[in-house]
Amino acid sequence: MLKKLFIIFAIGMTVMNTQAFSQKFFPLESKTFMLKNGLTVILVPMKSHSLLSYYTVVRTGSRDEYEPGHTGFAHFFEHMMFRGTKKYPGNVYDKLVTEMGANANAYTTDDLTCYHLSIASEDLEKTMELESDRFRNLFYQEREFQTESGAVYGEYRKSKTSPEFWLEEKLAGLAFAEHTYKHTTMGFEEDIAAMPKMYDYSRSFFSRYYRPENAVLLIVGDFRQDEAMRLVEKYYSPWQRGYVPPQIPKEPEQTREKSGTVKYPGKTLPILAISYKGASFDPNDKLIAAASLFCEMAFGENSDLYKKLYLQEQKVQEFGYDFGMNRDPGLWSIYSKIKKIDDLGYIRTEIDRTIKEFQTNPVSQTKLDNLKKRKKYEFLMNLDTPEKVAGKLTRIIAMTGGIAALDKHFSTIMNVNPQDIIEAAKKYFVPEKRTVLTLTGE
């Protein structure tokens, strides 16, 4: 029976029941609030021996870097946020976090930047004071900016020792003509190298994107809801609005296959990447859900092709797929690290043959049902700690601004039938939508 969506106004906030769907897959109760300044707050109480996960999801990643010559700043601020404020400089912040016995870290992807801490429940107020302060009052001078931007360039150069990074960078640039997914999370090398001269721009980037309307505060674990919201109101209400949405160019529809090669300056096995243009995340779209199940059935570790290439014929060292869920249409990729370069053509033929088979013949209903059950229980079995719960919710928060779409997404998956698998394979996994890249070494 559908629960009614309700809205309550209290202490300047809106609270919404996020369990408004006919089938509930996320097993924990949650409440979503919104402050007057636009900050979304998601509370997920669970028994966890007085432990909390405290996540701040900024809905800005490398996707939002649309201005020419200025890529890499989302990742840069992942670093810079630990420089602290006038009240709590970086070394003081680190000392306080250490004294609490907490663990603070961050990461950046294409669609988000996430700052997360694992803390004891008793340290919630201190954590909230520290986090709200740095999100409102981050302070750094030009010399510190130059030092950190130099460190980011060092990280880029270190990443470039990996053949997989070369592949990722080349693939993004080849697959996308206009959209900002054409650069990796780290950004274009020339932009990162020039970053030390962009101090004023960095302040503009922070001012436009690090605003309450563009952030979601997620708290999971042992806490009292009323006390948590009292603290949120106290520490986050002064955060001023000011988010400026990025002007992200729309990617033109791909109508022909793209292909390329990349030479890695070192020893590596050859890598084949076949990537198809996907679709924006939509929890209601059955064909997107079907495409995700198709990838698992066709190229996952339980697939016939994986067993053939990896176990029986032993022609590949690695084989798998990456089905990316993104705010804008991204790439759905099949990767293979091949033992002998002479087998490149064979591996590609086998991938094409497998796709054609799924486009033609319906899968077993029993096999499909078993996969859906496994995906559901894999999700549920990874909700045993606050940190795991928060980690599972972060991506959907970045894509939709909340967690309400989670139940609908799983409900859509459960309704996929064999004909949907055929239609998804025919719609998305066609030559005109793909980019094929081969990496070889010296």
pLDDT for 34-90, tens place per residue?
Answer: 999 999 999 999 999 999 999 999 999 999 999 999 999 999 999 999 999 999 999
DSSP line for 15-51: EEES--SSS--S-S--EEEE-TTS-EEEEEE---TTE
Identify whether the C-beta of residue 284 lies closer than 8 Å to the C-beta of residue 408. yes
Identify whether the C-beta of residue 182 lies closer than 8 Å to the C-beta of residue 176. yes
Give me 220's structure tokens.
């999971």
Question: Looking at residue 16, what is its pLDDT?
Answer: 41
DSSP line for 380-407: HTT-SSHHHHHHHHHHHHHHHSSSHHHH
Question: Residue 5 above 90 pLDDT?
Answer: no
Give me 47's structure tokens.
């028994």
Q: How far is CA 232 from the centre of its chain?
A: 25
* Nearest CA among 432, 431, 440 for reference residue 272: 440
d(CA 66, CA 60): 12
d(CA 300, CA 293): 10
d(CA 186, CA 174): 17
Question: Residue 11 above 60 pLDDT?
Answer: no
As a whole number, the mean pLDDT across the chain is 94
Phi, psi angles (nearest 5°) of residue 430: -125, 155
Order of all β-strands in the sheet with 215-221: 7-10, 13-17, 31-34, 40-45, 215-221, 51-58, 113-120, 103-108
Instruction: Say if strands 31-34 and 13-17 run parallel, antiparallel, or are unpaired.
Output: antiparallel
In the three-class reduction of DSSP (H, G, I as helix; E, B as strand; rest coil), residue 324 is classed as: coil
Identify whether the C-beta of residue 17 lies closer than 8 Å to the C-beta of residue 405. no
Question: Looking at residue 23, what is its pLDDT?
Answer: 66
Which domains occur in the chain, in start order? 7-236 (3.30.830.10), 258-440 (3.30.830.10)
d(CA 191, CA 358): 42
Question: Residue 350 above 60 pLDDT?
Answer: yes
Site of tokens 């809106």: 14
Tens of pLDDT, residues 154-205: 999 999 999 999 999 999 999 999 999 999 999 999 999 999 999 999 999 9
Identify whether the C-beta of residue 208 lies closer than 8 Å to the C-beta of residue 200. no
d(CA 402, CA 404): 6
d(CA 59, CA 208): 12
Run of H or E including 416:
none
Tens of pLDDT, residues 263-283: 999 999 999 999 999 999 999
Question: Residue 10 above 80 pLDDT?
Answer: no
d(CA 174, CA 251): 13
Question: Residue 27 above 60 pLDDT?
Answer: yes
Question: Residue 3 above 70 pLDDT?
Answer: no
Report the percentage of the chain scoring pLDDT > 90: 94
- The better pLDDT of the pair 99, 7 is held by 99
Which residues, 6+ apart, have CB-to-CB distance to 92 below 8 Å? 84
Identify whether the C-beta of residue 327 lies closer than 8 Å to the C-beta of residue 279. no
